[in-house]
Amino acid sequence: MSQHNCSKDGPTSQPRLRTLPPAGDSQERSDSPEICHYEKSFHKHSATPNYTHCGLFGDPHLRTFTDRFQTCKVQGAWPLIDNNYLNVQVTNTPVLPGSAATATSKLTIIFKNFQECVDQKVYQAEMDELPAAFVDGSKNGGDKHGANSLKITEKVSGQHVEIQAKYIGTTIVVRQVGRYLTFAVRMPEEVVNAVEDWDSQGLYLCLRGCPLNQQIDFQAFHTNAEGTGARRLAAASPAPTAPETFPYETAVAKCKEKLPVEDLYYQACVFDLLTTGDVNFTLAAYYALEDVKMLHSNKDKLHLYERTRDLPGRAAAGLPLVPRPLLGALVPLLALLPVFC
């Protein structure tokens, strides 16, 4: 868990908690106290909460809580979310031994003990194992009055699980598509930003994005590789580990079937087919977009068309992110990917 500043909080560690929604009058306590329903508590004391979305899918592509879209290397264990209420950690492994392409093979979610609502619970999924229960076998938040404010629901056996954490207004979707996992979350901004020590959250990927040295700069590849072809990817990799990739035209056609809008999810699909040769990555991109449609609060931001990549010093200085166009740069990138990754 500590490979890339992942949280050291484990199943038995003491959670770092801070009260989020104001507690209701003790006279109102029931089997599901008001404090264990974020929206009800929020509406009583304030306006409608603002929700954000983060998703990770494919080889791997990250959409942050601020709608930045990045393609990253991030091999090994990395923290997606690390705040006062839950930790989410992912492990990305090479699609084939020696391959530059990686995908998510393991996901761990730790829901921290919260007041009278839930006990600490741990959910863990791995390749070919998408359980419909927490690691202790339970499907809710434990024995407290508000235990049902945390629930796991199996939507499709072995393929699609949804976790509702109503006490923090959060919905999590975990899927297995082919051999690999995808992750999507809807979370209130107040929960997203509930961090005790901001200096220690530099690798909280859903909030900060991927580190600069883990991001793939499509424009730089385009500048250095004008005119090269996608089919050189396999030739540039060692023969025993090179994936059997799709021709560019075939990859485009397959992605168009599921993703007719040529947005970043479509482009991610094409990229993944060319780098992995695994047609299941088409479905990973498709379901990632479907999860955005379900979870994102701003329907005008469902489709993104420009990738974002931090320039050195801009993120630290709090300056705006610089969008970089991807169209026209995808094929040249693939020719050099093994060299740079």
Per-residue pLDDT of 218-274, as tens digits, reads 444 333 323 344 443 433 333 334 456 788 899 999 999 999 999 999 999 998 998
* CA–CA dist 248, 255 (Å, integer): 11
Q: What is the pLDDT of residue 20?
A: 52
- CA-based angle 282:179:241, to the nearest 5? 90
Q: By the 8 A CB rule, do 228 and 335 touch?
A: yes
Q: In this prediction, what percent of the chain has a pLDDT beyond 90?
A: 51
Query: Both 65 and 200 in a single domain?
Result: yes
Q: What is the pLDDT of residue 330?
A: 46
Q: Residue 32 — pLDDT band, cuts 50, 70, 90? A: low
Residue 226 lies in a domain: yes
With a CB cutoff of 8 Å and minimum separation 6, the contacts of 194 are: 18, 20, 83, 84, 85
For range 128-133, the mean pLDDT: 97
Shortest CA distance to 90 belongs to which of 174, 188, 198? 174
- Buried b vs exposed e over 185-219: b needs ≥16 C-beta within 10 Å? bbbbebbbebbeeeeebebbbbbbbbbeebbbbbb
Query: Both 242 and 315 in a single domain?
Result: yes
Query: Both 130 and 243 in a single domain?
Result: no
For residues 313 and 105, which has the higher predicted lDDT (pLDDT)?
105
Query: Both 185 and 238 in a single domain?
Result: no
Query: Both 144 and 91 in a single domain?
Result: yes
For residues 65 and 3, which has the higher predicted lDDT (pLDDT)?
65
Choose the final residue of a domain: 209, 240, 271: 209
Q: By the 8 A CB rule, do 275 and 233 touch?
A: yes
Per the structure, the complete domain to which residue 93 belongs is given by: 26-209
Residue 20 lies in a domain: no
Q: What is the pLDDT of residue 47?
A: 72
Residue 126 lies in a domain: yes
* CA–CA dist 192, 85 (Å, integer): 9
Residue 161 lies in a domain: yes
Q: What is the pLDDT of residue 268?
A: 92
Residue 10 lies in a domain: no
Q: What is the pLDDT of residue 278?
A: 93
Query: Both 53 and 182 in a single domain?
Result: yes
Shortest CA distance to 189 belongs to which of 54, 306, 19? 54
With a CB cutoff of 8 Å and minimum separation 6, the contacts of 243 are: 95, 96, 99, 101, 234, 237, 275, 276, 277, 278
- H-type helices in the chain, by residue range? 38-45, 189-192, 205-208, 218-224, 232-236, 248-258, 264-276, 280-295, 314-317, 330-340
Residue 182 lies in a domain: yes
Residue 322 lies in a domain: yes
* CA–CA dist 63, 68 (Å, integer): 6
Q: What is the pLDDT of residue 109?
A: 99
- Please give the single-letter amino acid code of residue 145: H
Please tell me which of 22-31, 179-188, 260-269, 306-315 the model is most confident about, judged by mean pLDDT: 179-188
pLDDT at 179 over 70: yes
**Given CA atoms 107, 166, 293, 152 in this order, what sign does their dihedral have?**
positive
Residue 6 lies in a domain: no
Query: Both 196 and 241 in a single domain?
Result: no
Q: What is the pLDDT of residue 135?
A: 98
Choose the final residue of a domain: 176, 209, 242: 209
Query: Both 232 and 200 in a single domain?
Result: no
Query: Both 324 and 203 in a single domain?
Result: no
* CA–CA dist 177, 188 (Å, integer): 27
Choose the final residue of a domain: 151, 177, 209: 209
The string of pLDDT tens digits covering residues 196-224 is 776 665 568 999 999 888 887 544 433 33
Shortest CA distance to 337 belongs to which of 77, 103, 92, 73? 73
For residues 183 and 17, which has the higher predicted lDDT (pLDDT)?
183
Q: How many domains does the chain have?
A: 2
In this prediction the pTM is 0.78
Query: Both 95 and 237 in a single domain?
Result: no
Q: What is the CATH number of the domain that holds 108?
A: 3.40.1000.10
The string of pLDDT tens digits covering residues 286-333 is 999 999 999 998 988 899 987 655 544 444 333 334 344 443 444 444
Query: Cα 289 from chain centroid?
Result: 12
Q: What is the pLDDT of residue 110?
A: 98
Phi then psi dihedrals of residue 266, to 5 deg = -60, -45
pLDDT at 152 over 60: yes
Phi then psi dihedrals of residue 293, to 5 deg = -60, -35
Query: Both 158 and 254 in a single domain?
Result: no
Query: Both 57 and 103 in a single domain?
Result: yes
66-70, 193-197, 258-262: least confident range: 193-197
> Can you give the three-state secondary structure of 249-277, one letter per residue?
HHHHHHHHHHCCCCCHHHHHHHHHHHHHC
For residues 143 and 170, which has the higher predicted lDDT (pLDDT)?
170
- Please give the single-letter amino acid code of residue 176: Q
